[in-house]
């Protein structure tokens, strides 16, 4: 099974790396018989920089991997996101590569990229809390109320902001394999969150992309 993670300039590091580590842990869990290939993808293998300046290099080009079983679209800095949302090469690849995909997923502002492909039309979806007004501007997308960590609607899975991708990735492990495999990965990664701070989210009234 081929899982593709397209990366672009100013992509969010945790959106990419956290999910990839969870998926890799799933693939190497004892008893899992499905072979998983997990690739960072780009139009070329030229390096890009994450939002915080770290260098990421695609392992495969779009041409190398024309079909995906699952795509995970990460979010990114507003400046990079605006470019990615209007990049015909990226958008065309997402549409063509997922024609027979089992799962089409995004985390954080990656939902905005999927929104521009039309692949969220008719589906319930979410995104980073600050970008909810942006997603609501797409009349054919049903935006989930509140601030869910992730939303599953048939073969679409979308996540909230940054750290939400961890919860979403664990849900995808359950969907791809089983609850028991997800538990094993949880134990391996010691994912038992208990943050030392507490805050509350409040609705955003404007779209950061405007």
pLDDT digits (tens, 9 = 90+) for 10-22: 999 999 999 999 9
Kindly report the average pLDDT of the chain as a whole number. 97
**Does residue 197 lie within any of the structural domains?**
no
Q: Is 108 a catalytic residue?
A: yes
**Does residue 200 lie within any of the structural domains?**
no
Distance from C-alpha of 190 to C-alpha of 184, rounded to nearest angstrom:
10
Catalytic entry in 17, 45, 89, 108 = 108
**Does residue 201 lie within any of the structural domains?**
no
CATH number for the domain including 101?
3.40.50.880
Give the domain extent around 49.
Answer: 2-189
Split into its structural domains, the chain has a count of 1
Report pLDDT for 162.
94
Report pLDDT for 197.
97
Which residues of the chain form beta strands (DSSP E)? Answer: 2-6, 37-42, 48-49, 55-56, 60-61, 70-73, 103-106, 124-125, 142-143, 150-153, 156-159
Give mean pLDDT, residues 146-172. 97
pTM, to two decimals: 0.97
Report pLDDT for 74.
98
Give mean pLDDT, residues 182-202. 96
**Does residue 206 lie within any of the structural domains?**
no
Give mean pLDDT, residues 45-69. 98
Report pLDDT for 206.
97
**pLDDT band at residue 136 under the 50/70/90 scheme:** very high
**pLDDT band at residue 169 under the 50/70/90 scheme:** very high
Report pLDDT for 175.
98
**Does residue 81 lie within any of the structural domains?**
yes
**pLDDT band at residue 123 under the 50/70/90 scheme:** very high
Give mean pLDDT, residues 155-160. 98
**Does residue 109 lie within any of the structural domains?**
yes
158 near 120, Cβ under 8 Å?
A: yes
């Amino acid at each position: 099974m081929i899982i593709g993670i397209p990366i672009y300039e100013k992509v969010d590091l945790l959106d990419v790396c956290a999910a990839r580590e969870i998926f890799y842990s799933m693939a190497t869990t004892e008893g899992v018989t499905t072979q998983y290939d997990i690739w960072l993808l780009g139009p070329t293998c030229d390096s890009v920089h994450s939002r915080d300046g770290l260098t990421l290099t695609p392992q495969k080009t779009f041409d190398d991997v024309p079909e995906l079983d699952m795509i995970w679209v990460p979010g990114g800095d507003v400046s990079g996101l605006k470019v990615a949302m209007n990049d015909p090469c990226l958008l065309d690849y997402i549409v063509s590569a997922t024609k027979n995909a089992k799962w089409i997923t995004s985390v954080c502002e990656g939902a905005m990229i999927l929104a521009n492909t039309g692949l969220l039309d008719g589906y319930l979806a979410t995104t980073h809390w600050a970008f909810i007004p942006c997603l609501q501007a797409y009349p054919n997308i049903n935006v989930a109320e509140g601030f869910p960590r992730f939303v599953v609607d048939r073969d679409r899975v979308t996540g909230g902001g940054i750290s939400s991708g961890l919860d979403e990735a664990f849900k995808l492990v359950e969907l791809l394999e089983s609850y028991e495999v997800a538990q094993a990965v949880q134990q391996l990664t010691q994912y038992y969150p208990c943050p030392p701070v507490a805050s509350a989210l409040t609705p955003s009234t404007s779209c950061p992309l405007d």
